[in-house]
Chain A
Amino acid sequence: MSEPILSTQGLTREFRGFVAVNGVDLQVMPGNIHALIGPNGAGKTTCFNLLTKFLAPTRGTIHFKGRDITGMKPADVARLGLVRSFQISAVFAHLTALENVRVALQRGRGASFDFWRSEEVLHNLDQRARELIEDVGLSEFVNTPAVQLSYGRKRALEIATTLALDPEMMLLDEPTAGMTHEDVERIVALIRRIRAGRTILMVEHNLSVVEGLCDAITVLTRGRVLAEGDYATVSRHPEVIEAYLGSEHV
Chain B
Amino acid sequence: MFSLGFTRPQLIALAVMVAVIAIAPMAVYPVFMMKIMCFALFACAFNLLIGYVGLLSFGHAAYFGMGCYLSAYAAKHWGFPAEICVLLGGIVAAAMGAVFGAIAIKRQGIYFSMITLALAQFTYFLCTQMAFTGGEDGIQNVPRPFLLGFLSLSNDMAIYWMVAVVFLVGFLAIFRIIHSPFGQVLKAIRENEPRAISLGYRVDDYKLLAFVLSTFIAGAAGGMKSLVFGIASLSDVTWQASGQIVLTNLLGGMGTVFGPVVGAVIINTLEFYLSPFGSWVTITQGLIFVACVMVFRRGVIGELGARFKVAL
Known: A92-B187, A95-B187. A117 touches B195 (CB 8 A): no
Comparing B88-96, B99-107, B201-209, B286-294, the segment that makes contact with chain A is: B201-209
Closest Cβ of chain A: how far from B169's Cβ, in Å? Answer: 13
Closest Cβ of chain B: how far from A77's Cβ, in Å? Answer: 8
Could you show 18 A-B contacts with beta carbons less than 8 Å apart? Answer: A73-B202, A75-B200, A75-B203, A76-B202, A83-B199, A90-B192, A93-B191, A95-B188, A106-B181, A106-B184, A113-B206, A113-B209, A115-B183, A116-B180, A117-B182, A118-B5, A118-B179, A118-B180
Name the residue in B181, B182, B197, B203 with the highest tally of chain A Cβ atoms < 10 Å from its Cβ: B181
Give the dominant DSSP class at B's interface. Answer: helix
Question: Is the pair A84, B198 in contact by a Cβ cutoff of 8 Å?
Answer: yes
Residues from chain A with Cβ under 8 Å of B181 in the complex: 106, 109, 112, 114, 117, 119, 121-122
Residues from chain A with Cβ under 8 Å of B184 in the complex: 99, 102-103, 106, 112, 119, 122
C-alpha gap A10/B157 in the complex (Å): 73
Residues from chain B with Cβ under 8 Å of A74 in the complex: 197-198
* B: contact size bracket: 20 to 34
Question: Is the pair B198, A115 in contact by a Cβ cutoff of 8 Å?
Answer: no
Closest Cβ of chain B: how far from A206's Cβ, in Å? Answer: 23
Q: Is A86 an interface residue (CB 8 A)?
A: yes
Q: Is A120 an interface residue (CB 8 A)?
A: yes
Q: Is A161 an interface residue (CB 8 A)?
A: yes
C-alpha gap A122/B183 in the complex (Å): 12
What residues make up the interface of B, taking CB atoms closer than 8 Å to A? 1, 4-5, 176-177, 179-185, 187-188, 191-192, 194-203, 205-206, 209, 213
Question: Is the pair B199, A78 in contact by a Cβ cutoff of 8 Å?
Answer: yes
Residues from chain B with Cβ under 8 Å of A111 in the complex: 202, 205
Number of interface residues of A (CB under 8 A): 39
Question: Is the pair B205, A104 in contact by a Cβ cutoff of 8 Å?
Answer: no
Residues from chain A with Cβ under 8 Å of B5 in the complex: 118-120
Question: Is the pair A107, B199 in contact by a Cβ cutoff of 8 Å?
Answer: yes
Closest Cβ of chain B: how far from A6's Cβ, in Å? Answer: 16
Q: Is A192 an interface residue (CB 8 A)?
A: no
C-alpha gap A199/B181 in the complex (Å): 30
C-alpha gap A116/B182 in the complex (Å): 8
Question: Is the pair B176, A103 in contact by a Cβ cutoff of 8 Å?
Answer: no
